Structure 1
Amino acid sequence: MLGFWLSAYARLIRTRPLYVVVLAPGPETVAAREAGRGKTGYGAHWSVAELDRVLRAETPRIGLWLDTSELSVGETVEAILAQRQRARVA
């Protein structure tokens, strides 16, 4: 969820407690990861740079935001669990 959609979607969820975690690796990391995949999530409609701009400039800073550029999957999970109280929004 990007932009205002993040808050709008979070308001629709009635389960409590509610946690929001935003994984926000840098655009260079996203581009490198994308290049190594067999499919693409970016292209004609959205570039990595444009999605990164929307994420950082237009998305409300709710929950836990993690720069996962240098983290493995396991390290990301550990960081989320260690900081889960910062992720709680409701």
Structure 2
Amino acid sequence: MTLERGIYIITGVMASGKSTISQMLAEKFEKGVHVRGDVFRKMIVKGNIDMTPNYSQSALEQLRLRFKIAAKVVEMYYNAGFSVVVQDNYLGKEVMGFLDEFKSKPIYFITLHPNVNSIINREQKRNKSGYTAWQVETLNNVLLHENPKIGLWIDSSYMTPEETLSEIIKRKKEARIK
């Protein structure tokens, strides 16, 4: 089964497998790019304000800036002939604003949502710690209850990365949102 050239957006909470799956998916294209949206947050060397459960307006403005920059980079690669996979924590009310940044089509939106125990196990095995300000359960509740129910949702709790990628490829039509 082949993949159509497009923009593939991968979201989920920290330790849901976004980076791994996004890299694997981007490698499936003849001309593929993997944009890690979080890199734009990391570029701020002074004055960064992280999103926390009790975030400020300034933190929200920085998040929106990060999303806007990511969308512009994605569009530039896409308009240069690449298929682009972009990943970040696109959560809650900000999802639709992020999607509105895109002029190009097709757009595929994929949400990875393993169960809480799987996320905790994966987090313990990572070389980094994502859950400092957030609890896994709290962030997972935002994903499950505040994200729009669009695109393809995959419960990858008991799937290998290869199985998750295979499921995305097999069900890609469900992921297409525009």
Q: TM-score, normalised by structure 1?
A: 0.94
Q: Which blocks of at least 5 consecutive residues in structure 1 are unaligned?
A: none
- The one-character-per-residue Cα deviations of 1:11-56 (angstroms, maximum 9, x if unpaired) are 211220111000010111000000111211111x111111101000
Identity %: 34
Distance of 1:68 and 1:14 partners within structure 2 = 30
Q: In structure 2, give the amino acid aligned to 1:29.
A: S
Residue number among 94, 97, 122 corresponding to 1:33 in the alignment: 122
Summarize the alignment of residues 14-25 of structure 1 with structure 2, pairs less than 5 Å apart: 14-25=103-114
Q: TM-score, normalised by structure 2?
A: 0.49
Query: 1:60 deviation in Å?
Result: 0.6
Residue-pair matches, total: 89
Q: Once superposed, what is the RMSD of the aligned Cα atoms? A: 0.8
Tell me which residue corresponds to 2:92.
3
Tell me which residue corresponds to 1:87.
175
Q: In structure 2, give the amino acid aligned to 1:85.
A: K
Q: Which blocks of at least 5 consecutive residues in structure 2 are unaligned?
A: 1-89
Moved over 6 A (4+): none
Whether 2:114 is the aligned partner of 1:63: answer no
2:128 partner SS = coil
More strand by share: 2
Query: 1:67 deviation in Å?
Result: 0.3
The higher relative CO (CA closer than 8 Å, separation ≥ 6) is in 1
Q: In structure 1, give the amino acid aligned to 2:108.
A: Y
Which structure has the greater CA radius of gyration? 2
